[in-house]
């Protein structure tokens, strides 16, 4: 393998380890001499390094520490981080290994580590079965007649059955060992023959429910050892992408249930909190804003964590504050700004079936390209379909003249145009009120919001073409 061991230290830092007897792992790693090797571990999709040692002239060295390492899959990294191999670390933390990296699969030996002897045997058996499957798949491609194809397919089924049987036996025999926990977590729900072949919506729903109900069978969310693997995060990602209903209530319910168990174990609690807060920090879908705000309010607003530094605290807090006032489905904040004549034109005074709110900058090149195209859409259809436009020009490098000239040159008539000066924003902030840039989470120009008759947020931060699609969909639903 040639994956690189990466340092995991951007916002989150520190390896929480319990102070016990410590660890001592003696390594003999040929052919390296007088070079550093590394001890790291998986942490989801990252590979933090926790120790290093310089091998002597006999290729020997000792990883040693006074604090016990959290259980999980660890990595012995080669000099210059050019590759690595995996070992297990759990209750047995004083052992030795001898290996030659040229033939590591066949030469590695462990002493005083039952976990790694069993893990090595598992890897060897799975490697042999994997080779068997690949060979059969190649034979199937070149099969000369139907009889050969049937025979090879039967062998593939038998091999697959052998793999599942072997894993199930491991689960039974390994119990609560790390290898047993890994096998439990890797297990997939097995559908009955009827559920595998649904014939109607009722059957499909039953298959989905069975799969969802049994997806985490045998996986304990209070087992922090799972955080030190790759497949746990992969399984977690697949669950939220493919199994959980894509709406905030469903996602929040799943997150809360997982964290209720995870809080028992500091390592798993840390892993899931970092995972979820990073995942929903920058939303992939509009409704995910509610998920992030929920995470902040329940797990971060009134709590502190030793692994979350000040920069991380501020980042999470600032992002939550920027989203609180513009959550999808909630009423938009009122905007009260002057038009070209100095008359204040409140957003909520615009009476239309739908309102497109545009925050833009008169000096922004992309805005200058987009707004005339929005106007074309407005004139062609939106104005006749009950959609009004509330246009907020944010002063940055330009001034009021840039704003007025652009409106006049492009004949953007029929819109409600207001100007948001630097002075207006300063007055709000000095008065202890959030600026409109924060209330609408304006990070780029132009930023668009689609509101309904009651000024509830229907869509946000989409292109005007996407806004048109949402608008048409909403209109069709009402017919």
Span 50-64, average pLDDT: 97
Judged by average pLDDT, the poorest of 16-25, 47-56, 175-184, 287-296 is: 16-25
Q: Does residue 21 register a pLDDT over 90?
A: no
How much of the chain, in percent, has pLDDT values that exceed 70?
96
The pLDDT assigned to 12 comes to 44
Q: Does residue 9 register a pLDDT over 60?
A: no
Q: Does residue 28 register a pLDDT over 90?
A: yes
Tens digit of each residue's pLDDT (9 = 90 or more) over 183-240: 999 998 988 888 888 888 888 999 999 999 999 999 999 999 999 999 999 999 999 9
Cα separations (Å) of 363 from 271, 414, 415? 43, 22, 19
Across all residues in the chain, what is the average pLDDT? 92
The pLDDT assigned to 159 comes to 92
User: Residue 79: which pLDDT band, with cuts at 50, 70 and 90?
Assistant: very high
Span 239-268, average pLDDT: 97
Question: For residues 374 and 7, which has the higher predicted lDDT (pLDDT)?
Answer: 374
Question: For residues 415 and 175, which has the higher predicted lDDT (pLDDT)?
Answer: 415
The pLDDT assigned to 192 comes to 86
Q: Does residue 1 register a pLDDT over 50?
A: no
Query: What does the alpha-carbon distance between residue 424 and residue 433 come to, in Å, rounded to a whole number?
Result: 11
The pLDDT assigned to 104 comes to 85
Query: What does the alpha-carbon distance between residue 425 and residue 461 come to, in Å, rounded to a whole number?
Result: 21
Tens digit of each residue's pLDDT (9 = 90 or more) over 123-154: 999 999 999 999 999 998 888 888 989 999 99
Span 6-21, average pLDDT: 43
Contact 322, 438 (CB under 8 A): yes
- Tally of residues, the chain: 479
The pLDDT assigned to 5 comes to 37
Tens digit of each residue's pLDDT (9 = 90 or more) over 309-358: 999 999 999 999 999 999 999 999 999 999 999 999 999 999 999 999 99
Question: For residues 195 and 42, which has the higher predicted lDDT (pLDDT)?
Answer: 42
Span 414-439, average pLDDT: 95
Q: Tell how far CA 84 is from the center of its chain.
A: 26
Strands (E), 175-262: none
The pLDDT assigned to 10 comes to 36
Contact 159, 133 (CB under 8 A): yes
The pLDDT assigned to 470 comes to 96
The pLDDT assigned to 3 comes to 38
The pLDDT assigned to 44 comes to 85
Q: Does residue 39 register a pLDDT over 90?
A: yes
The pLDDT assigned to 344 comes to 98
Q: Which residue in 108, 38, 48 sits closest to 72, CA to CA?
A: 48
Where is 179: in which H helix or E strand?
A: helix 178-186
User: Residue 270: which pLDDT band, with cuts at 50, 70 and 90?
Assistant: very high
Query: What does the alpha-carbon distance between residue 329 and residue 152 come to, in Å, rounded to a whole number?
Result: 55
Q: Does residue 76 register a pLDDT over 70?
A: yes
Q: Does residue 432 register a pLDDT over 90?
A: yes
Parallel, antiparallel, or unpaired: how do β-strands 344-346 and 336-338 relate? antiparallel
Q: Does residue 63 register a pLDDT over 80?
A: yes
Q: Does residue 6 register a pLDDT over 70?
A: no
Residue 370 token pair: 């987009």
Distance between first and last Cα of the chain: 58
Span 1-20, average pLDDT: 40
Tens digit of each residue's pLDDT (9 = 90 or more) over 83-124: 899 999 999 999 999 999 988 878 899 999 999 999 999 999
The pLDDT assigned to 105 comes to 79
The residues facing 356 across adjacent strands are 389, 450
């Amino acid at each position: 393998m040639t994956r690189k061991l990466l340092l995991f230290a951007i916002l989150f830092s520190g390896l929480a380890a319990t102070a016990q007897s410590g660890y001592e792992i003696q390594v003999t790693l040929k052919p390296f001499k007088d070079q550093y090797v590394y001890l790291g571990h998986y942490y989801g999709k990252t590979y933090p390094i926790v120790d290093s040692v310089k091998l002597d002239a006999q290729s020997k060295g000792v990883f040693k520490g006074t604090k016990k390492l959290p259980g999980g899959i660890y990595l012995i990294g080669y000099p210059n981080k050019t590759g690595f191999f995996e070992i297990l670390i759990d209750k047995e933390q004083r052992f030795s290994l001898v290996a030659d990296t040229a033939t590591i699969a066949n030469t590695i030996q462990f002493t005083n580590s039952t976990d790694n002897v069993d893990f090595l045997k598992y890897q060897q058996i799975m490697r042999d079965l994997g080779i068997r499957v690949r060979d059969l798949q190649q034979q199937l491609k070149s099969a000369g007649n139907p009889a050969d194809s049937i025979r090879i397919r039967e062998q593939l089924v038998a091999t697959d059955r052998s793999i599942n049987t072997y894993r199930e036996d491991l689960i039974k025999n390994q119990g609560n060992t790390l290898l047993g926990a890994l096998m439990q977590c890797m297990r997939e729900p097995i559908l009955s023959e009827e559920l595998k072949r649904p014939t109607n919506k009722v059957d499909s729903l039953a298959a989905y429910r069975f799969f969802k109900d049994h997806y985490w069978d045998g996986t304990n969310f209070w087992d922090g050892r799972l955080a030190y693997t790759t497949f746990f995060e992969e399984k977690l990602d697949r669950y939220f992408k493919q199994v959980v209903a894509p709406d905030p209530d469903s996602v929040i319910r799943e997150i809360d249930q997982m964290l209720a168990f995870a809080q028992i174990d500091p390592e798993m609690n840390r892993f899931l909190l970092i995972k979820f807060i990073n995942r929903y920090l920058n939303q992939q879908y509009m409704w995910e804003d509610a998920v992030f705000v929920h995470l902040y309010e329940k797990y971060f607003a009134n709590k502190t964590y030793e692994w979350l530094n000040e920069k991380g605290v501020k980042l999470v807090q600032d992002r939550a504050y920027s989203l609180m006032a513009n959550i999808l489905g909630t009423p938009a904040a009122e905007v009260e700004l002057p038009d070209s004549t100095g008359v204040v034109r409140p957003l909520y005074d615009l009476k239309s079936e739908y309102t497109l709110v545009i925050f833009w900058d008169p000096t922004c090149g992309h805005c200058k390209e987009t707004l005339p195209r929005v106007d074309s859409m407005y004139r062609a259809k939106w104005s006749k379909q009950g959609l009004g436009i509330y246009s907020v020009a944010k002063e940055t490098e330009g001034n009021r003249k840039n704003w007025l000239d652009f409106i006049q040159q492009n004949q953007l008539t029929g819109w409600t145009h207001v100007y948001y000066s630097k002075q207006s924003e300063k007055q709000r902030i000095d008065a202890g009120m959030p600026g409109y840039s924060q209330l609408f989470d304006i990070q780029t120009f132009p930023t668009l919001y689609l509101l309904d008759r009651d000024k509830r947020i229907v869509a946000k931060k989409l292109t005007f073409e996407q806004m048109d699609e949402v608008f048409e969909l909403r209109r069709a639903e009402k017919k």
